[in-house]
Structure 1
Amino acid sequence: MRFKHLKDLNAICTAEGKTLAELMIEEQVKETGTPEAEVVRQMSDYYQVMKQAVNKGMNEDTTSRSGLTGGDGQRVRHYLQNNQSCSGDASTLAMAYALGVSEVNASMGRIVATPTAGSAGIIPGVFVSAQERFGWEDEHMVNGLFSAGAIGYVIANNSFISGAEGGCQAEVGSAIGMAAGAMVELRGGTPEQVVHAVGLALKNTLGLICDPVAGLVEIPCIVRNGLGAVTALAAADMALAGVRSAIPSDEVIDVMLEVGSAMPSRHRETAQGGLAQTPTGKKLTKQLADTKKEKTKPKKAAD
C-alpha cells in the first residue's frame, strides 16, 4: 500500500483528487492482482451480508445459545417507532441496527467482521440506517466500506484491532473510527475531515477494556456496539461541522497502542477482570457452567 498513516491518506487523496475509497480500490487491485470489478464485487457481497444481518436482527429470534442476550435491537426499534427518541431518530435507528447485528453474531448468525466479530454491529448499524435515511444506492455504501477498510488498515498496522491484544478500544474503538471516517466521506466530506473524524472517535474510547462475562461476545460487547454506532455518527457530525482533532489522529492511534500494551491481561478478553468479575458477572458465569455441566452429565439407565 502507498500509505501507512492517516496523514498519508490525506496527502495522497488531496494531491490526486481522490476519495479514500478510490485510493483503496486502486491499492487493493495492485496488492492482490485482482481485477477492479472483482474487488468491488467482493466488497458488494460483504455489504449484502451486512444488510441481511440487520434484517435478521430486526425480524428474527436472536436469543443467544447462552440465553443471556437477544432481542434488544428489536426493543430499541420498537421504542423508536412509538416514542420520541432522546438522542434523535438517526442515532437511535443506528443503535438498534448495531445491537441487532451483534445479537445475530451472538446467536451464531452470519456477519462480517468489521474489523472483528466483537465489533461487527457498528458499521452495519451506521451504514444501513444512513442508507435508508438518505436514499443512497448500494454502490455508494460499498465505496464507504472501502473507505472504512483504508482506515482499518492504518489502525491495524500501527496499533491493535484485537481485544486480546489491546482491549475493547482496539475492537469497538477501531470500528467506531472506521465508521465515523467513512460516514464523513459518504456525506461528501474532504479527506482531511475524514482523518479528523477518526481521531475524534478514537479519543472517546481510549482505555476501554475488554471484559466479556463468561468469556462470551455478549455482555457488555453487544451494548458497546449499539452505543458505538451513536458515537460514530457524533464524531462524523463534529468533523463535518469543522471540529478538528487537536491531537493528530495518527498520534491518537499511537496512544491506543501505548495504552493497550500497558493494559493488564485481566482487562484484555480474559474475563478475569472488569464486568466479568462483578458479583453478577460471576453469578452468570457459574449459572452457565452449571447448565453446561447438567447437559453433559451422563443419563442414568432406566430400571
Structure 2
Amino acid sequence: MYRSLEEICKEAAATGCSFWELIQKDDCRERQIAQEESFVQLQRMYQAMKEADQDYDETLHSRSGLVGTDGGKLEHYVDQNEPICGDFLGRVMEKAVKMGESNACMKRIVAAPTAGACGVVPAVFLSMQEKYHYTDEEMTKALYVASGIGGVIASRAFIAGAQGGCQAEIGSASAMAAGGAVHLRGGSVEAVAHAAAMALKNLLGLVCDPVAGLVEVPCVKRNVSGAVVALSAADMALAGVRSRIPPDEVIDAMREVGISMPACLRETGEGGLAATPEGIKMRDRIMD
C-alpha cells in the first residue's frame, strides 16, 4: 500500500501510468487478485452508491427521530426554485444529505471512507456523472483515485472520528472526492494530489461531536460541506493552484491535530454541539 501521495506522483511520472492504474495494480498485489476482478468489485461499489441514491425514501426518519426527510426537501427546493449555489451544487447538496440520512435510517450505503462520511464521494461523483455523462467505467476509475487517496490518509494518519475527529472522516472523504473529480476532468496526477491536500486542509480541525453519540447530528449536514469543499478544491487544482504545504505534510498535520484533540471532541458525544443545552435535551429524550 502506498504511504504517500508523493510516491504515487513519482511512480506515475516514471512509468507513465495514471493514478487509477497504479492504485488498481497495488490492490491486485495486496489482495492477490486479477485486474478484472478488482475492477468489477469496485464497479459494484459504485453501483451500490447509485442504488443508495435512487432508493432514498423521503418519508423515513431515523429511529432517534433526529434526521430524515431533509434530502427530499432539498430535492423539491432545487426542482422548484433557483438555488443560490446553482442547480449543480444544489444536486450535490441534495445527494449528500440523502446518503447521510440513508445511513442513519439503516439503509444500504458505501462507507467512503466511513459510514459517517458516506455522502461526500457519492454526492460529487453521481452529480458529475449526471452533468458530464461519464460512463460507469470512467466513474470506477475515479473511484480508484479516491480510494488511493483514502488509503494514503489511513496509512499516514487515520480515517476514524474516534481517532482524529471529523476532519479524519469528512476531511478524508472530501480529499478523496476532490482528487477523483480532478481525475474525471482530465487533471494531472499532481493536480489530483494537490486537490486532495486543499480539501483536507480546509477542513483541518473539524471536531467529531455527535449528539447523543449517534452518527446523525451534525454528521449528515457535514457531508454537504465536505462535498462542496471538494468541488472548490478540485476547481482550484484544475486552474493550476497548488497547496503551499505539500500534500503529504497536510495529511501529517491532520494527524497531529487529531492527536491533540481532547477526547470530548473525538466521537464521544461529550463536547462541542453534543454538549449544548439542546444537544443534551435531545440526548436525554433519546435515552429515556
Tell me, yes or no, if structure 1 residue 46 matches structure 2 residue 45: yes
Letter in 2 for 1:14: A
Query: Match of 2:116, SS?
Result: helix
10-19 or 266-275, larger mean C-alpha shift: 10-19
**2:257 matched residue in structure 1:** 259
Q: Which consecutive unaligned segments of at least 5 residues does structure 2 have?
A: none
Q: Deviations over 1:85-124 (max 9, x none)?
A: 2112221211110110110000000111110001001011
**1:55 aligned residue:** 54
**What does residue range 1-303 of structure 1 map to in structure 2 within 5 Å?**
1=1, 3-57=2-56, 59-290=57-288
- Normalised TM-score (structure 1): 0.93
For structure 1, the residue ranges without an aligned partner over 5 or more in a row are: 291-303
**2:241 is paired with a residue of what secondary structure?**
coil
Partner Cα separation in structure 2 for residue 273 and residue 60 of structure 1: 30
Contact between 1:19 and 1:185, CA under 8 Å: does it hold in 2? Answer: no
* 1:13 to partner: Cα distance: 1.2
Taking every aligned residue pair, what percent have the same amino acid on both sides? 51
Cα offset for 1:60? 4.4
Counterpart Cα distance in 1 of 2:38 and 2:134:
21
Residue 78 of structure 1 deviates from its aligned partner by 1.2
The structural deviation recorded for 1:231 is: 0.9
Deviates more, 1:260-269 or 1:21-30: 21-30
CA distance in 1, matches of 2:190, 2:106: 38
| Structure 2 contact 153–159 (Cα < 8 Å) conserved | yes
Residue 63 of structure 1 deviates from its aligned partner by 1.1
Larger deviation, residues 78-87 vs 132-141: 78-87
TM-score by length of 2: 0.98
In the alignment, the residues of structure 2 paired with residue 14 and residue 190 of structure 1 have an alpha-carbon distance, to the nearest angstrom, of 10
Distance 2:246 2:68 in 1: 39
| Residues 74 and 90 in structure 2, CA contact (< 8 A), matched pair in contact too | yes
Aligned to 1:118, the other structure's residue is in SS state coil
Larger Rg: 1
C-alpha distance after superposition, 1:168-214 (max 9, x if no partner):
00000000000001110011100010011011101111110000000
In structure 1, distance between residues paired with 2:202 and 2:51: 30
AA in 1 matched with 2:126: V
Measured against aligned partners, the alpha-carbon deviations of 1:230-252 in whole angstroms (never above 9, x if no partner) come to: 11111101100111101111111
Distance 1:105 1:254 in 2: 29
Following superposition, the deviation at residue 31 of structure 1 comes to 1.4
Partner-residue secondary structure (3-state), 1:119: coil
- How many residue pairs get aligned? The number is 288
1:56 deviation in Å? 2.0
Note the C-alpha offset of 1:80.
1.1
RMSD: 1.0
